[in-house]
Amino acid sequence: MNVLVGKKAPSFSEDAVINGKEFTENFSLEQYLGKKYVVFFFYPMDFTFVCPTELIAFQNHLTEFEERNTAVVACSTDSKYSHWAWLNTEQNKGGIKGVTYPIVADRSKTIASQFGVLAGEYNFNEGKLQFEGNPVAYRGLFLIDKEGVVRHQVINDLPLGRSVGEALRMVDALRFYEENGEVCPADWHAGQSGMKATSEGLVEYFSNN
């Protein structure tokens, strides 16, 4: 798997569904450069079990991300038609109707591969190209700053759902660091003091906590 922290996020241009119902071509994260932070997350598959709990949870907190000038974008290896159908299925029937942030279609599995979250790989076997593993994405999440640089990533195995609260905390931590020049200690939350990245700052922090 790739460690992308500190590097430019891979570039892509793909089909997506936006506003819960509209198809769009050539969707790219580059539209947010210089404007917004991005939480870009992968999930394994539409019409499954853990996945709707995550997508709906991000939607339930979408206003909080927007207040932090942060775009939320999802991606899986399903087609745009599968995304559209899932987005138009009621939640009490296993759908995610009401989700409005963009969902990217990665049918070629190129984006998942570039971000290092594809749960398998293509290999040649007796002269034939075959996929070995599970042709879906792990639960990868990437926090990308306004310059397009990945500042945080976390990758969960397929059965393990993620914490939206932790994603918000990491956005807060990045913004705090950028605005104040102080680093964020363990379990830091918005409203708490940071630390100066010096031995004196460490002593000061522990003296006050």
List, in order of start, the domains of the chain with CATH numbers.
14-162 (3.40.30.10)
Catalytic residue among 9, 16, 38, 51: 51
> Which phi and psi angles does 99 have, rounded to 5°?
-75, 130
Residue from 139, 44, 41, 56 nearest 90 by CA: 56
Mean pLDDT over the full length of the chain: 94
Letter for the amino acid at 59?
A: Q
Percent over 90 (pLDDT), the chain: 86
User: Looking at residue 93, what DSSP letter applies?
Assistant: G
- Residue 207: both structure tokens together: 């003296």
> Which of 34-48, 128-142, 168-182 is least confident?
128-142
State pLDDT tens for residues 68-89. Answer: 999 999 999 999 999 999 999 9
* Per-residue pLDDT at 200 exceeds 90: no
Q: Is 51 a catalytic residue?
A: yes
Rounded CA-CA distance 113/10 in Å is 10
State pLDDT tens for residues 51-74. Answer: 999 999 999 999 999 999 999 999
Residue with tokens 């020049």: 181
Residue from 79, 76, 82, 31 nearest 55 by CA: 76
pLDDT reported for residue 129: 80
pLDDT reported for residue 127: 80
pLDDT reported for residue 96: 98
Rounded CA-CA distance 205/104 in Å is 43
Enumerate residues 6+ apart whose C-beta is below 8 A from 62.
Answer: 72, 100, 101
